[in-house]
A and B are shown apart, each in its own frame.
Chain A
Amino acid sequence: MNIAKNSIAPVAIIGGGPAGLTAAWYLHRQKIPFILYEAGPKIAGLASSFHDTDGYTYDFGAHFINNRLAAAVGIGSQCRDVLYYGESVLIHGKTYGYPFGLMKSPRYVASALARRILPPSRQEMHQNAANWFRSSYGDLLANEVAIPLLEAWSGAPATELASAVGSKMQNTIPQTLKLRMASRLSRRAVGCGYSHEIPENPHVWHVYPEGGVGLLCQKLAEGIEQHIKLESPVQRIIVQDGRVVGVRCQDEEQPVSAVVSTAPANILSRLVEGTDILKPLGQLRYRPMVFVNLRLEGRNLLKDTVVWLPEGHFTSFRLTETPISMPWLAPEGKTLVTVDIGCEKGDRIWSMDDDALGELCIEELQEIIPDIKKRYRGCRVLRTPIAYPVYLNEYEEVRVKLAQSIGIDGLYPIGRNGEFSHALMEDVYWRTQHKMRQVIDYRNASQSRHHRSSAQFMH
């Protein structure tokens, strides 16, 4: 392929979820030609919602965006305010509000204080996630709550996970208190821990777009439909001399000036042709997850929107009753409880049929909702092989390196799967725009290099 020609070629975007569409929207505004390749038959990916004729809406977990992102994308007029959102933890049959309810237990407070008084060395703390949680929360809270949840969520022992899992997770206690107070006074679900990139404040709260978070994707895709190729999985990213020069899709080669990829990092390493530099990314793992949505009679069956289950005798680690926060997701007098179960592709849970999964959940949840059998009206199961990136210590170096740079000129991973990061919805939007500025700079630099070399040739 002619490298010089490629500097004016379009940018290829791989993936039509929120990240890929943000990239496309940004490039379109800057009048940079691009082609967006989406493997599936429609845009939005994991941000899609499913609706049934009974009036239920199913998402991959509790999905919402905030009013700041809604205003940025221009869908504020189509969003509803979420008036309340809360999380609790169930331990020994008692629910504690998260995080302040847990502080009411003197055992946890004493153990946390003990760690504050006798802190471990920095090195010890950052050895693995288990140490990190014990140092930050105290032994008891870590052992009884944080570590079991982390292990169920990621499917690996906490001693094998990198401390980076925790260090990015929370606001300070005063900040959390302030945001909680604001939420109560303003009677809106003020976001707390939902944006790492831009500070949260009392005036940023959760909202839910009409019909689901997919609306965000539709809005971003407005006016650029002709540049989106559906059912077009990219087979190869072609690299020459350390630079991206093209992509292959449906056995045809397309010269490109850069590639912006939302593909999971481990898959990206297999897509690239012409260099081995991305081979180490092949070992990165994502946690598959099954979401069992139970349709139930009644409302407010859980103590909070989210109830964490750290005790090992539950198959699930998290229950979510989305209609507590977003009443419009279920018909009146009915509700949805989503049961999250971490699994591995092909294991017993992954392969179990929907009805059997529903029965399994009902059986277990009798402990929490005693008359759940009477209330049960069937279920709908959503599965994804890439729910969360797993930060294993064994490849922590690879992860950190990826976060700094991919190492191939003109290749830009974006989105939570592409960057292998725990980025949240709003983070993805702003980070992607920031990356797109880099793409444009790179493209301009290649163009001027090309002009310079042709000018020299003329002389």
Chain B
Amino acid sequence: MAKTIQRSHLSKRYPGLSFVGVPHRPDCSEALRMTTVDCHVCGSDNVELLAVGEDFEYRTSPDSFLTVRCQDCGLVYMKHRPDMCELDRIYPVDYHAFNFSSKQFGFIYKVRRSLEAKRLLRACKGLGNDAKILDVGCGDGFHLNLLRDFGNKSWQVEGIDMSDHAVRAGREQGLTIHHGIVQTCELEQGSYDLALMIATIEHLDDPLTVLKSVKKLLKPGGRVVIVTDNTDTLDFKLFHQRHWGGYHFPRHWSLFSPATMRQLAVNVGMEVAELSTIVSPVNWVYSIRNFLDDWGAPTWLVNRFSLNSPVSLAIFTLFDNVHQWLGHGALLRVVLQNPGSPR
């Protein structure tokens, strides 16, 4: 993230500067094509305004974005969001999910890898030797790699992602990755035992439709594990007016709480087999970073809060453990099950 442009840089370099739009990279001065949407869970357009934000992390556009809460079902979503044709702009080549490697992130990569492996294997419990697993929105294949390295060697492990960069990066590691989206990609219906949607659902333009397609791919009794940012947390309460890390402007389009997740399950026609929260320091760290950056704090201080900073990640991991213990961990983990019994 060395290339990011921070407000603090700008105000120091040009005191009293007034620029058009929000701070952005020099090559991203053109406005994004935007589209206005209604609630994807219940269809209502009655909203409560929550936040105005900008791309604090990657500075990919001069636009500002409005996030709202549906007055009818409580879903938090981006009301005016970038059009689908702008995905290459808002997921730049240096986007972390395309490059989460040990080379870039060293120690943090190793810690996260072992933590995630444990979580992942818990989700795979009870799968037979011939199990088929699909990682929806697999990015550069981080979780697929974990399954390959730590899971049962006879499992058939596949991923799907719509990003060229991600698919290329994953295939280079010898992983099976389909290019496209689940709604249109020709995958065998009713054939998968387990689907993973880890940090995926919040990025989708229409989570309901995608989840319905995933359901069709699953065998009877098959499960989908969803991990996503939790809006029923203290960090959300404190920072929801602008800087909350989970907004990840403008890339997180739908954000869930346990209640809205249950509603989504009802609308898809799946059962909630498990619903819990898990610990993550990321939203805490990025909420603080965004706040500091936005209000012009010195760069050295802003940089203390990032994915590259083991100290802040460690502190907020401990801190979020307290919230986890109270039932409000930073991430939601939901297991939805297809009706019918497994073979």
Contacts and interface: CB of A to CB of B under 8 A. Distances in A.
B80 A77 contact: no
Nearest to A210: B20
A185 B11 CA distance: 13
B18 A328 contact: yes
Contacts of B36: 29, 74
A456 B11 CA distance: 71
Contacts of A304: none
A71 B46 contact: no
B20 A187 contact: no
Interface string B10-52: 0100001011111000000001101010000000011001011
Interface string A173-213: 00000000000011100000000001001111000001000
A76 B241 CA distance: 17
Interface stretch (A78-86, A310-318, A371-379, A395-403): A78-86
Interface residues of B, number: 31
A213 to B, nearest CB: 15
B64 A80 contact: no
Q: What secondary structure prevails in chain B residues at the interface with A?
A: loop
Interface string B237-259: 00001110000000000000000
A327 interface: yes
Nearest to B51: A203
Contacts of A437: 45-46
B62 A77 contact: yes
B61 interface: yes
A375 to B, nearest CB: 23
A72 B80 contact: yes
Contacts of A71: 52, 63-66, 80
A78 B21 contact: yes
B79 interface: yes
Given A77-B63, A187-B11, A68 B49 contact: yes
A74 B83 CA distance: 12
A296 interface: no
A77 B61 contact: yes
Given A70-B64, A71-B64, A83-B16, A77 B52 contact: no
29 contacts: A68-B66, A71-B63, A71-B64, A71-B65, A71-B80, A72-B66, A72-B79, A74-B34, A74-B36, A76-B52, A76-B62, A76-B64, A77-B22, A77-B31, A77-B32, A77-B61, A78-B21, A78-B31, A79-B20, A79-B21, A81-B19, A83-B16, A186-B294, A186-B295, A187-B296, A203-B52, A203-B243, A210-B20, A328-B18
Given A71-B52, A71-B64, A74-B80, 13 more contacts: A67-B64, A68-B52, A71-B63, A74-B63, A76-B21, A76-B22, A78-B21, A80-B18, A83-B16, A202-B241, A203-B51, A203-B242, A327-B18
Interface of B: 11, 16, 18-22, 31-32, 34, 36, 45-46, 49, 51-52, 54, 61-66, 79-80, 241-243, 294-296
Interface of A: 29, 67-68, 70-72, 74, 76-81, 83, 185-187, 198, 201-204, 210, 327-328, 437
